[in-house]
Amino acid sequence: MTYDAASQNYTLPIEHAQALVNENSPAYVAGGFQLIMSLFKDEPKVLEVFKTGKGIAWSDHDKDLCSGAERFFRPAYTANLVSSWIPALNNGRVEQGLKQGGLIVADIGCGHGLSTILMAKAYPNCKFYGFDNHPASIDYARNKAREEGLSEDRIKFEVASSTNFPLTEKGDAYDLIAFFDCLHDMEDSQGASVHALSALKKPDGVVMIVEPFANDKLEDNLNPIGRIYYAASTTLCVRASLRPKMDLH
């Protein structure tokens, strides 16, 4: 906030408003504060697993974690997923196929279904499946898809793990399989990658992986963003990867 003594008025500068108030801004970060707040609520759980070496599943965290994660990632996904990330795949051939229609897409670790719904709305002639091992998130995603006017013949959400999500009802493999900011959290990321390859339509299927950027050398990450990422990784991502392997059917 800024204060003008002459008028005795407080003002939120427009550039600050883009980060703190405008939920449609690519710079909006308030969701990140909700995410961090959930970790403070989980302090006793975090302290305990640091002592035991065990993990914490996303489903065992405070409910603000999933809601905060959706709000945190929404600006970047809305600004980039359809406009730049998908067009960059395979020299534009994936985007071309999605626009033509008929492709089948799986979104693994979809959470609240944000990324799945964005793609389904952008490419109405393709079929999208969202998979996550958190039942409450899948329920949320189903309700959100209905609110957006998307029927189950266009988008379907199911509870499944990253290492055993099924093929389609007809036994079809997927033209595109996506992991958005989740592969590094998984208790068996290698197994998830192997299963994705097995579920991919050959020879032209594509796996899309979106992950937070970090430099290879520790000293190159010693900046405000790096500190936030290391803290989040220590209390959330690494703890999730250390949880017992889940086998959902």
CA 2 to chain centre: 35
Is residue 248 one of the residues assigned to a domain? no
Residue 230's domain is classified under what CATH number?
A: 3.40.50.150
Look at residue 149 in the predicted model and tell me its pLDDT.
96
Is residue 230 one of the residues assigned to a domain? yes
Find the domain containing 124 and state its range: 30-241
DSSP letter assigned to residue 74: H
Is residue 213 one of the residues assigned to a domain? yes
Is residue 135 one of the residues assigned to a domain? yes
Is residue 133 one of the residues assigned to a domain? yes
Is residue 8 one of the residues assigned to a domain? no
pLDDT digits (tens, 9 = 90+) for 113-144: 999 999 999 999 999 999 999 999 999 999 99
Is residue 24 one of the residues assigned to a domain? no
Task: Give how many domains the chain has, as a whole number.
Answer: 1
Determine the average pLDDT of the residues in 219-228. 93
pLDDT digits (tens, 9 = 90+) for 83-108: 999 999 999 999 999 999 999 999 99
pLDDT at 62 over 70: yes
Render 175-243 in DSSP notation, one character per residue. Answer: SEEEEES-GGG-TTHHHHHHHHHHTBPTTT-EEEEE-----SSGGGG-SHHHHHHHHHIIIIIHHHHTS
Is residue 120 one of the residues assigned to a domain? yes
